[in-house]
């Protein structure tokens, strides 16, 4: 039997301190075959251009280290659904910047939390996010694809349900949106019981009907501090949360999802946390210690 497990791409979100290509080196040291990074500090609107040497260095290093796909996580400041026109405008400009930067370094995807209703009605906010995304889609063409991530169902979330993601996915024209990213912690907190076979089957069917399983281009593999339907966006170390090792294993090895790359966004409280969480995932996938 063909061993999909061995082919499975596994990585972690790594730091860009010291330059963007340092994230690739950090990923490689951890034995990763895929990576996620911020393209700049995610907490500020000011963004510095990526120097040409850094673009070239990133592209060649990534080839040498065989790290693929490369995912950029878009800035947390972006809120495509904001009722404030000024913030929406800044968000549109920032998302364009993220797409430009992805193309500059040859990243494959940009991952986006679509936004928060900020006290407004969720359906109205979703339509606002669709409008803002269409502005981005109309303003350019990029080699990188945008992935819409499911959220945990915190107050103001507009995309914690598959149907919500599907509405945004289908509402944006052009070639901007390539697919979706499914975060296990967010899905669980939003009420999808992905620990169980019937829960996995149900969510897979829902995604397949509403979006298409081939559009799932990334799994954010995180355990959850909060319980099922808690609505809490609180990531936990692999195996130490409410989903647990057996539940996460069942989900990542389930037929609909077993070829999708995995990126960990687990807590980094200690130096050794990434190595330990990656070891737990490899053991889950390959049976290694
Ligand atoms: Zn995530
Ligand atoms: Zn999260």
How close is the Cα of 151 to the center of ligand 1, in Å?
A: 8
Q: Return the closest-CA partner of residue 73 out of 265, 262, 234, 276.
A: 265
Q: Domain map of the chain by residue range? A: 4-286
Residues by chain with Cβ below 5 Å of ion ligand 1: 183, 220, 265
Q: Output the pTM of the full model.
A: 0.97
**Percentage, residues of the chain above pLDDT 70:** 97
Q: Are 182 and 150 in contact (CB under 8 A)?
A: yes
Residue 69 DSSP label: S
CA angle (223, 241, 122) in 5-degree steps: 60
Which tokens sit at 79?
């809120």
Fold of 4-286: TIM Barrel (3.20.20)
How close is the Cα of 77 to the center of ligand 1, in Å?
A: 15
Q: Return the closest-CA partner of residue 218 out of 248, 246, 178.
A: 178
How close is the Cα of 147 to the center of ligand 1, in Å?
A: 11
Of all ligands present, the nearest one to the C-alpha of 218 is 1
How close is the Cα of 187 to the center of ligand 1, in Å?
A: 10
pLDDT, tens digit only, all 289 positions of the chain: 445 456 899 999 999 999 999 999 999 999 999 999 999 988 799 999 999 999 999 999 999 999 999 999 999 999 999 999 999 999 999 999 999 999 999 999 999 999 999 888 999 999 999 999 999 999 999 999 999 999 999 999 999 999 999 999 999 999 999 999 999 999 999 999 999 999 999 999 999 999 999 999 999 999 999 999 999 999 999 999 999 999 999 999 999 999 999 999 999 999 999 999 999 999 999 886 5
How close is the Cα of 57 to the center of ligand 2, in Å?
A: 30
């Amino acid at each position: 039997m063909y061993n999909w497990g061995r082919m499975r791409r596994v990585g972690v979100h790594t730091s860009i301190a010291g330059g963007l290509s340092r994230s690739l080196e950090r990923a490689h040291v951890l034995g990763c075959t895929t990576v996620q990074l911020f393209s700049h500090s995610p907490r500020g609107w000011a963004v510095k251009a990526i120097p040409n040497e850094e673009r070239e260095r990133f592209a060649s290093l990534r080839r040498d280290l065989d790290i693929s796909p490369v995912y950029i996580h878009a800035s947390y400041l972006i809120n495509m659904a904001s009722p404030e026109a000024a913030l929406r405008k800044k968000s549109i400009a920032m998302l364009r910047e993220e797409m430009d930067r992805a193309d500059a370094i040859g990243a494959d995807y940009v991952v986006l939390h679509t936004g928060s209703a900020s006290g407004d009605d969720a359906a109205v906010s979703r339509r606002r996010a669709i409008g803002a995304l269409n502005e981005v889609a109309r303003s350019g063409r990029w080699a990188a694809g945008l992935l819409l991530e499911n959220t945990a169902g915190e107050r103001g979330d507009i995309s914690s349900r598959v149907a919500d993601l599907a509405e945004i996915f289908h509402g944006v024209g052009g070639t901007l949106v390539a697919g979706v990213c499914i975060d296990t912690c967010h899905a669980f907190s939003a009420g999808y019981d992905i620990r169980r076979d019937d829960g996995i089957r149900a969510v897979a069917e829902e995604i397949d009907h509403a979006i298409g399983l081939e559009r799932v281009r990334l799994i954010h593999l995180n355990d959850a501090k909060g319980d099922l339907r808690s609505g809490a966006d609180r990531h936990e170390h692999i195996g130490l949360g409410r989903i647990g090792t057996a539940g996460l294993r069942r989900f990542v090895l389930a037929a609909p999802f077993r070829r999708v790359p995995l990126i960990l966004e687990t807590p980094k409280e200690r130096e050794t946390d990434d190595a330990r969480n990656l070891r737990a995932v490899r053991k889950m996938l390959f049976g290694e210690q």
